[in-house]
Amino acid sequence: MLFDKDQPKICAFCFYGQDYGPDMILCSKKGPMGLQDHCSKYTYDPLRRKPAGTAVLRPVKDKDAFNL
């Protein structure tokens, strides 16, 4: 997942990109780029990925199931 070889090459995950508004990336090599764009200078940075949302916990139906 984090270091998959099949990661899409997009500016949102690039080492050289910085957030520049809601739908733009400011690339230190190429200037303003779209989130889904990429160039030949693309270098994957795992720290640029946004984590997935938290899981929703289901309520326990049987309250006595966990008593010791």
The DSSP 8-state label assigned to residue 62 in this structure reads: -
Confidence of residue 65 (pLDDT cuts 50, 70, 90): low
- Residue 7 has a pLDDT of 77
Torsion angles phi and psi, residue 8, rounded to 5: -70, 140
Whether 41 and 29 have beta carbons less than 8 Å apart is answered as yes
pLDDT in tens, 8-63: 888 888 999 999 888 999 999 999 999 888 889 999 898 888 888 888 888 877 77
